[in-house]
């Protein structure tokens, strides 16, 4: 399996010269190449990262095979990029569906790519960050198991963004130390992505917000024009679909084209073996 192979450098096919050059270590520079991000400030830089098959499937929706690893083939270079993007983020946001599909996950750089833990830590420190990125879980219903590692391990600070009804439901469980619950939505309603974002950005020093999905949460962020850049790994796999199997694409639950199409601009392309690492600007 590719996760046991040594990490190989990405080959840059298209790179831009806009933005601020980040102080990657020599090892990360060798593996990823140079890395620029827009100057972080106010409003914060919101970016997303997904992996998709050639036919646009982001989850196989099959028991034990619902998470992103099955899409990338557990690709080590994809893990390296995921770790890098988490390392530069102050906050990583996911919806409850993504947590349910990968319930043992914690959204830190070293959790996804442990072999580069010290490189990521060095980068975070150089960017002025202290500790891991805050993990934000969006759940209108509040149907979350607070015994899962993301909440109970104490390894990350967690903010749950929910509704008043969701907060009431969560209060029936013991709230672990380091988990904060913020009720900002009406009961039963979808919480506007802009409200999620401003709640998250009330935390001092939050300048870079990474949305790792899933498709329904990301759709809300696109609907409100909040996503500046999309990182997208293209894995050379055809997953297939049949009517009603629920296999999602990267954005679900909202329709944009043809009335309101969202066109991105391709700003970066890197090749890692048979995978392509794409980056689009929606600014
Ligand atoms: N390939 C990839 O890169 C990638 C990346 C991420 C996820 N995925 C896959 O995508 C699948 C999950 O898809 P999904 O669309 O269900 O994921 P999701 O967006 O993470 O979860 C949807 C749930 O999150 C909550 N939520 C989302 N937006 C909300 C909002 N604006 N306000 C309040 N609550 C909100 C709701 O939870 P409540 O029902 O609790 O209210 C909603 O039912 C998984 O299989 C996962 O592995 C793949």
pLDDT in tens, 78-132: 999 999 999 999 999 999 999 999 999 999 999 999 999 999 999 999 999 889 9
Instruction: State whether the beta carbon of 237 lies less than 6 angstroms from ligand 1.
Output: no
Q: Which of 164, 191, 216 to mutate to test the pocket of ligand 1 (most atoms within 8 A of CB)?
A: 216
For a mutational test of ligand 1's pocket, the pick from 143, 159, 214, i.e. the residue with the most ligand atoms closer than 8 A to its C-beta, is 214
Angle CA 39–155–91, to nearest 5: 25
Nearest residue by C-alpha to atom 40 in ligand 1: 139
pLDDT at 181 over 90: yes
Contact 70 CB / ligand 1 (< 6 Å): no
Closest by CA position to 6, among listed 75, 73, 96, 88? 75
Share of the chain above pLDDT 90, in %: 88
CB 97 less than 6 A from any atom of ligand 1: yes
Give the tens place of pLDDT for each residue, 155-177: 999 999 999 999 999 999 999 99
pTM above threshold 0.75: yes
Distance CA 125, CA 128 (A): 5
Q: Is the pLDDT of residue 4 over 70?
A: no
Give yes or no for a contact between 157 and 131, defined as CB atoms under 8 angstroms apart.
Answer: yes
Q: How confident is the model at residue 5 (pLDDT cuts 50, 70, 90)?
A: low
Helices 76-88 & 117-126 angle (0-180, nearest 10): 30
């Amino acid at each position: 399996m590719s996760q046991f192979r040594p990490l190989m450098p990405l080959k840059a096919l298209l790179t831009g010269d806009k933005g601020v050059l980040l102080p990657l270590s020599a090892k990360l520079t060798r593996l990823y190449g140079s890395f620029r991000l827009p100057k972080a400030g106010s409003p914060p830089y919101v970016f997303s990262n997904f992996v998709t098959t050639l036919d646009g499937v982001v989850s196989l929706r099959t028991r034990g095979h619902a998470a992103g690893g099955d899409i990338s083939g557990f690709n080590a270079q994809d893990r390296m990029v995921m770790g890098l993007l988490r390392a530069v983020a102050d906050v990583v946001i996911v919806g409850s569906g993504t947590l349910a599909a990968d319930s043992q996950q914690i959204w830190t750089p070293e959790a996804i790519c442990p072999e580069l833990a010290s490189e990521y830590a060095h980068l975070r420190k150089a960017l002025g960050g202290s500790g891991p990125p805050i993990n934000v879980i969006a759940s209108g219903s509040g149907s979350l198991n607070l015994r899962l590692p993301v909440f109970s391990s104490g390894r990350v600070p967690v903010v749950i963004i929910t509704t008043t009804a969701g907060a009431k439901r969560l209060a029936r469980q013991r709230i672990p130390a380091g988990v904060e619950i913020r009720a900002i939505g009406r009961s039963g309603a979808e919480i506007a992505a802009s409200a999620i974002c401003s709640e998250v950005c009330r935390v001092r020093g939050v300048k870079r917000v990474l949305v790792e999905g899933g498709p329904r949460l990301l759709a809300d962020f696109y609907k409100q024009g909040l996503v500046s850049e999309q990182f997208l790994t293209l894995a050379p796999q055809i997953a297939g679909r049949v009517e009603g199997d629920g296999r999602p694409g990267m954005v679900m639950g909202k329709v944009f084209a043809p009335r309101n199409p969202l066109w991105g601009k391709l700003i970066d392309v890197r090749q890692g073996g048979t995978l392509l690492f794409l980056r689009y600007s929606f600014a």
